[in-house]
């Protein structure tokens, strides 16, 4: 562009990576450049915005760079995020994570670096900021919006738990992969006549376990919203196995699921800046318990268990069709809002239609599975009621 740009748009990705982030970055960039804007890619989420050295002679290439059509076209067909990501909460930065050039200024155990973020945005000349992330990443977007930054947020998370929208980037690929991998593992379970236990993502919301089960990938699912009884689960799975000609049954376990009267299981006590400890172990524990309890519901004979944590296998690789199309639409929705001079908004899908909502909705409520409406607590699986007038993704 030979003329002065209409404005400068900053874009970043935070939290866990999912397929669909690069297509969203591409959509924003292509549309913005063709309408006369300059686009700055901010690296490593909010981390890139606190690491900047406000000196035009300083090398900030590790924190931000200008995006071009050539850059985003090459990346737009791939998974992950070429802008990189981190779980940084700029309002709650531990002393050991404060950038070296700010150590003299910020000396508390936990530091609010928002003043630096605001000055860094001004240093880059950012007129509009487009963060792409889940409820943690976008909650800081809400903070910046209240500080006067022109923020337009795009929801992303494989858990599909950002409030205000029926759909978050990454969810479809997660569900598609979960169904595919579960069906692949059936051959092992059926060959050895075992129970198949698969742990999937889902800290507080069980959508990523519910939808594959609803689609027939599993007999049962255990979700964070309902504390389950292990004896009851074992009895159901043994019944499912008995009635299956191939003598196996399948259960999907959300990583945030808990036993009756129990708590979440963590890999360690270390927490990220959002206060979340790394989950892990519930699948292993349930698998061991099922094997131990199985003689009680199988005429005294033990049933062996295949136990697999799907983990990053459902979030790696290229996006599916929906996670290629929705990010394109979300990116263009963001530019529509900029064209109208609007900000402080979250682009969304609601009742099958693209729309936008106040960004404050991200922090004003929680998006969880409605147990009474969608989950059969006696059968430990989704309810199969009428689908008339239901949203596309059901839940």
Residue with tokens 């059969």: 376
Catalytic option among 135, 159, 166, 240: 159
Q: What angle do CA 365, 85, 136 make, to 5 degrees?
A: 15
Which has the closest alpha carbon to 32: 336, 352, 351, 324?
A: 336
Residue 228 per-residue DSSP state: B
Backbone angles phi, psi at 61, to 5 degrees: -65, -20
Q: Is 159 among the catalytic positions? A: yes
Which stretch of DSSP H or E encloses residue 40?
Answer: strand 38-42
Residue 70 three-state SS = helix
Q: Which two tokens stand for residue 15?
A: 């939290």
Which has the closest alpha carbon to 11: 158, 33, 116?
A: 33
Q: Distance between CA 353 and CA 356 in Å, rounded?
A: 10
Kindly report the number of other CB atoms within 10 A of residue 341's CB atom. 8
Nearest-Å Rg of the Cα atoms of the chain is 23
Contact 374, 334 (CB under 8 A): no
Q: Distance between CA 174 and CA 42 in Å, rounded?
A: 26
Give the DSSP letter string of 169-230: BTHHHHHHHHHHHHHHHHHHHHHHT-EEEEEE--SS--HHHHHHHHTTS-SEEE-TTS-B-H
Q: Which two tokens stand for residue 296?
A: 């009680």
Catalytic site positions: 159
């Amino acid at each position: 562009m030979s003329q002065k740009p209409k404005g400068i748009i900053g874009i970043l990705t935070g939290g866990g990576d999912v397929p669909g982030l690069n297509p969203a970055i591409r959509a924003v960039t292509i549309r913005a450049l063709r309408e006369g804007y300059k686009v700055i890619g901010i690296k490593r989420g909010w981390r890139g915005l606190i690491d900047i050295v406000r000196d035009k002679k300083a090398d900030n290439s590790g924190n931000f760079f200008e995006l071009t059509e050539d850059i985003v076209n090459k990346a737009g067909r791939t998974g992950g995020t070429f802008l990189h990501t981190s779980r940084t909460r700029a309002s709650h930065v531990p002393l050991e994570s404060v950038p070296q050039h700010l150590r003299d200024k910020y000396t508390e155990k936990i530091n609010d670096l928002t003043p630096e973020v605001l000055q860094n945005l001004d240093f880059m000349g950012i007129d509009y900021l487009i963060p792409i992330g889940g409820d943690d990443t976008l909650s800081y977007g809400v903070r910046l919006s209240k500080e006067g930054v022109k923020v337009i947020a795009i929801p992303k998370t494989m858990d599909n738990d950002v409030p205000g929208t029926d759909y978050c980037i990454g969810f479809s690929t997660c569900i598609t992969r979960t169904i595919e991998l579960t069906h692949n593992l059936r051959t092992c379970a059926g060959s050895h006549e075992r129970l198949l236990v698969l742990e999937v993502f889902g800290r507080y919301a069980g959508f990523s376990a519910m939808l594959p089960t609803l689609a027939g990938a599993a007999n049962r699912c255990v979700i964070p919203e309902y504390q389950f009884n292990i004896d009851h689960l074992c009895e159901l799975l043994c019944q499912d196995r008995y009635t299956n000609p191939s003598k196996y049954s399948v259960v999907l376990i959300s990583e945030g699921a808990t036993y009756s009267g129990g708590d979440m299981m963590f890999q360690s006590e270390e927490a990220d800046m959002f206060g979340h400890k790394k989950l892990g172990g519930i699948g292993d524990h349930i698998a061991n318990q099922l094997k131990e309890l199985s003689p009680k519901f199988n005429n005294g004979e033990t049933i062996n268990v295949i136990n697999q944590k799907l983990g990053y296998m459902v979030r790696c690789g290229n996006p599916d069709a929906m996670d290629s199309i929705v990010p394109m639409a979300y990116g263009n929705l963001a530019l529509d809002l900029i064209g109208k001079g609007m900000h402080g908004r979250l682009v969304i899908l609601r009742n099958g239609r693209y729309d936008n909502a106040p960004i404050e909705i991200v922090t004003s409520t929680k998006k969880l599975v409605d147990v009474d409406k969608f989950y059969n607590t006696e059968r430990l699986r989704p309810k199969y009621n009428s689908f008339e007038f239901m949203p596309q993704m059901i839940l």
